[in-house]
Amino acid sequence: MKDLTDRLAALSPAQRELLEARLRKKGLTAPRSGVIRPIPGRETMEYFPASLDQERLWFIDQMEPGNPAYNIHTSTRLFGHIDAGLMRRAVNACIARHEILRTTFRVVDGRPVQVVAPSLEIDLPIVDLTHVPAEDREKAGQQAAIDAAAVRFDLERGPLIRVVLARLTPEDHVLMICMQHAITDRWSFDIMEAEISQIYLALREGKKVDLPPLPIQFADFAAWQREEMSGERLERRLDYWRRTLAGVPTVLEIPPDAPRPPVQTFNGAREYVIYPDRLLKGLKEITQQAGATMFMTMLAGLDVLCWRYSGQRDLIIGSAIADRDRPETAGVLGYFLNMLLLRATIDPSMSFRQLLAQVRERALGAYAHQDVPFATLVSELRPAKDPSRTPLIQVSFIYLDFPVLATPERAGFSATSLDVDNGASRFDMTLACTEIPGTGIH
């Protein structure tokens, strides 16, 4: 392994970029240099540095404290008898395992830092809907999930997690988990729900909870990131983004149908559309011929749409990516999310296939340089301060091409996810696409 690491370290930036692009095309990732290790003497430390993007979220929260637009939530319908006492113990065992779930923020020398409580136990409120008429229970359960997702968190006082159990019938429940974005991402929810399920089953069966020890905690990652994203190491990483984003407009002016408020409200709503399976199959053919991915093909389509509405031939669309390309982070809860800036330069005379080739090339380059935090790029590009919009990203894009399980198993129960709209949007527009085999694109 040392020989391989040495050979990787000897590659030029261009050679490494090409290697990583090829690996990513095959679904692989080149090993990164450096190992994330626990902070020395962390047991006696009063606080820890916030990650760069945690700091960005903290500043956003200062404009409107507790804004639920930056809540991350999930609601899972569980069918079967639930022991609420055991579920509460399972949730708190997970909180005891992950420091980030016991974390709050305070200001030291003008900057936010993470403060980890040595212990924390939260309650598991029960919303009893069994008295609601049967024909109204579905709607009541949905409303309970909306209410749970709209809780206002205090970053300084905490806790920054809330878990609620709604009981529709003795055999039908909704488990609702809501956290402030500064301590979590979507990947973390998958980890947490799996661990709660495993702990609950062990408690119910009187067995020992057997989860592997965590190599690091999120605070260790934040401290490591601060060191990595500084000095000469940061300058090398920024060189790619400076070249790629040179001269790009920092605002994408999609014309609104109402005056833009002077300060961003984050009020929003969702619109659901299903594109038929025949369109999905046709797009997959184009994608395969171009040696691209469906993410790239749909992104190119969104680029064209934004050009048609804005008139801008040079634009940025943001896309969320999990910054977990090091093995130490795989099972750790925390805010590992990063936003990639994906630039498109459109010539009306080009064909769609030519645009797709450009989108593919730039996406691969962005993937290879994804470890530069969005907050760092905002500081580097210095967009004009405008409280009415998110800096650099007004339109974002998400594409999920893996099958969505209709009835996953959670804590031994048959389960299904509830889609909850909490009436908030972090950007002017987000296009979120999911492939549904046999149906199309949702």
Reply yes or no on whether the pLDDT at 407 is more than 80.
no
CA distance 223 to 220: 5
Q: Give the pLDDT of residue 417.
A: 83
* Mean pLDDT (the chain, rounded): 89
Q: In the block, which residue shows the tokens 């369109």?
A: 279
Query: Residue 149, exposed/middle/buried by CB under 10 A (0-12, 13-18, 19+)?
Result: buried
Q: Give the pLDDT of residue 420.
A: 85
DSSP one-letter string for 372-412: S-HHHHHHHH-PPP-TTS-SS-SEEEEEE-SPPPSS-EETT
Q: Give the pLDDT of residue 14.
A: 44
At 350, give phi and psi (nearest 5°): -80, 155
Pair 207, 119: CB distance under 8 Å:
no
Strands of the sheet with 103-108, listed across from one edge:
48-49, 111-116, 103-108
Q: Give the pLDDT of residue 19.
A: 53
Q: What is the mean predicted confidence (pLDDT) over 62-76?
A: 91
| Residues 6 or more apart in contact with residue 11 via CB below 8 angstroms | 19
Q: Give the pLDDT of residue 64.
A: 85
Q: Give the pLDDT of residue 34.
A: 67
Reply yes or no on whether the pLDDT at 31 is more than 60.
no
Reply yes or no on whether the pLDDT at 3 is more than 60.
no
Q: Give the pLDDT of residue 141.
A: 93
Q: What is the mean predicted confidence (pLDDT) over 296-300?
A: 97
Q: Give the pLDDT of residue 421.
A: 85
Q: Name the pLDDT band for 422 (thresholds 50, 70, 90).
A: confident
Q: Give the pLDDT of residue 412.
A: 67
Pair 161, 101: CB distance under 8 Å:
yes
Q: Give the pLDDT of residue 442.
A: 94
Q: Name the pLDDT band for 33 (thresholds 50, 70, 90).
A: low
Pair 417, 74: CB distance under 8 Å:
yes
Pairing status of strand 161-169 against strand 126-128: parallel
Written as six digits, the tokens of 32 are 């990164």
Written as six digits, the tokens of 242 are 């400076």
At 341, give phi and psi (nearest 5°): -100, 115
Reply yes or no on whether the pLDDT at 250 is more than 70.
yes
Q: What is the mean predicted confidence (pLDDT) over 344-357?
A: 97
More confident residue, 16 or 140: 140
Reply yes or no on whether the pLDDT at 47 is more than 60.
yes
Pair 294, 283: CB distance under 8 Å:
yes
Q: Give the pLDDT of residue 124.
A: 97
Quick one: the chain helix, strand, coil %, rounded to 5?
A: 40, 20, 40
Q: Name the pLDDT band for 424 (thresholds 50, 70, 90).
A: confident
pLDDT digits (tens, 9 = 90+) for 220-240: 999 999 999 999 989 989 999
Q: What is the mean predicted confidence (pLDDT) over 360-384?
A: 93
At 200, give phi and psi (nearest 5°): -60, -45
| CA nearest neighbour of 393 among 420, 425, 421, 423 | 425
Q: What is the mean predicted confidence (pLDDT) over 385-411?
A: 78
More confident residue, 26 or 109: 109
- Say what percent of the chain tops pLDDT 90: 75
Q: Give the pLDDT of residue 410.
A: 62
Q: How many CB atoms lie within 10 A of CB 329?
A: 20
Reply yes or no on whether the pLDDT at 401 is more than 90.
no
pLDDT digits (tens, 9 = 90+) for 210-220: 899 999 999 99
Q: Give the pLDDT of residue 11.
A: 47
Pair 306, 429: CB distance under 8 Å:
no
How many degrees, rounded to 5, is the angle at CA 367 between CA 366 and CA 368?
90
Q: How many CB atoms lie within 10 A of CB 131?
A: 7
| CA nearest neighbour of 367 among 429, 315, 299 | 299
Reply yes or no on whether the pLDDT at 247 is more than 80.
yes
Q: Give the pLDDT of residue 30.
A: 47
pTM: 0.86
Q: What is the mean predicted confidence (pLDDT) over 75-94?
A: 95
CA distance 32 to 35: 8
Pair 141, 127: CB distance under 8 Å:
no
DSSP one-letter string for 138-185: HHHHHHHHHHHHTPPP-TTT---EEEEEEEEETTEEEEEEEEEGGG--
CA distance 5 to 33: 7
Q: Give the pLDDT of residue 239.
A: 94
Q: What is the mean predicted confidence (pLDDT) over 278-299?
A: 96
How many degrees, rounded to 5, is the angle at CA 190 between CA 185 and CA 195?
120
